[in-house]
Structure 1
Amino acid sequence: MRLTFIQFFILGFASFRITHLIVFDKITAFLRAPFFDEFTMKDEDGNDAVYIAPKKSGVRGWIGELLSCYWCTGIWVSIALFLSALYFPKWAEPVIIIFAIAGVASLIESAVQKWGGE
């Protein structure tokens, strides 16, 4: 499969958005929860701070390590998107385009929040 620049950028934005959804977004926290241990520590001011860490061993630990690294997760998401586009284009293209649009929108929103001055 030969990618045009447009296809490359669409896949890139979709990969960015899906990776962020998996690794960071609150809406998918329930998916990440089985792979992390949660613990509470006191911060400098004496307040409780909640931290998470990947499970120590086994498959859950391996998946927890993967999910704690957005670079790693991004590679696997990119592979899945590319192979989906290659072998199941009728199903994959609408999904990829929707996530690419969401990726661009999230970058615009981040820029507005950073430089909007409000």
Structure 2
Amino acid sequence: MSKPNKPVTSLLDSARTEAEAYQQGEDRPLGGYVAVMAVFASLIVGAAGLAAATGRRPPSRIEPYDAFLMAAGTHKLARTLSKDAITSPLRAPFTRYTETGGPAEVMEEVRGTSSIRHAIGELITCPFCLDMWIATGFVLGLLFAPRVTRMVATTFTVLTGADLLQLGYALAQRLQEGDRG
């Protein structure tokens, strides 16, 4: 078996030293974060290569309607994937249930058995973190399958509106009940 080459060993030692200095004794899975970022970057590079190979070009501009549709759809899909009780089986390998959250939502803690498992757990329990992945998916969807992408985004945008109406109705009920007492 060959010995690792000195510059590579030096680089790895330097990375470990920097990671330890950054973490300050806390459990921060920097290696897992690097792996998750590498997957994301690979997907982007792959999509760009596929777009180039198939002659697809990005639109010269995104229409405001599409931007709104994708923003609201991204919000709802991220919350659905990261917080809904019904999607907890998807998160279960990376998380543990801790308590009930907001309406139809659960709170979970990340399992930390490995750096990658921990990083994925953080990603899939954080709607803000998932936003980047989902928004990128919607934008790429506009490039490759705009009609289907708009249909999916519309579905989640309508759900966002319905959620706001449900919350508004519940608030109105609470206020009405408070007026009676």
Fold match (TM-score > 0.5) = yes
Q: Provide the TM-score with structure 1 as the length reference.
A: 0.78
* Displacement of 1:37: 3.7
Q: Which residue of 1 aligns with 2:75?
A: 16
Separation (CA, whole Å) in 2 of partners of 1:8 and 1:101: 15
**Residue type of the alignment partner of 2:157:** A
Structure 1 pair 93/38, CA: closer, same or farther in 2 (3 Å)?
Answer: closer
Q: Which runs of 5+ in 2 are unaligned?
A: 1-58, 100-106
CA distance in 2, matches of 1:91, 1:105: 21
* 1:82 corresponds to 2:139: yes
Could you tell me the TM-score, scaled by structure 2's length? Answer: 0.53
The one of 35, 44, 53 equivalent to 2:109 is 53
Using the TM superposition, give the Cα deviation of residue 13 of structure 1 relative to its aligned residue in structure 2, in angstroms: 1.1
1:75-108 CA-to-partner distances (Å, cap 9, x unmatched) read 2111111111222113222111111111111122
Q: Which runs of 4+ in 1 moved over 6 A?
A: none
Query: Which gives a bigger RCO, structure 1 or 2 (Cα 8 Å, sep 6+)?
Result: 1
Shift of the alpha carbon at 1:38? 5.0
Residue 5 of structure 1 is matched in structure 2 by 64
Q: Give the whole-Å Cα distance in 2 for the aligned partners of 1:98 and 1:10.
A: 9
CA distance in 1, matches of 2:160, 2:68: 11
In structure 1, distance between residues paired with 2:97 and 2:76? 25
Identical aligned pairs, as a percentage?
A: 25
- Structure 2 counterpart of 1:11, which letter? M
More strand per residue: 1 or 2? 1
Question: Paired residues, what number?
Answer: 108
Aligned-residue CA RMSD in angstroms? 2.1
TM-superposed deviation, 1:39:
6.9
In the alignment, what sits opposite 2:162? 105
Gapped regions of structure 1 (runs ≥ 5): 41-50
Q: Which is greater in Rg?
A: 2
Q: Could you tell me how far apart the structure 1 residues matched to 2:96 and 2:155 are?
A: 33
Task: Map residues 64-83 of structure 1 onto 2, 5 A cutoff.
Answer: 64-83=121-140
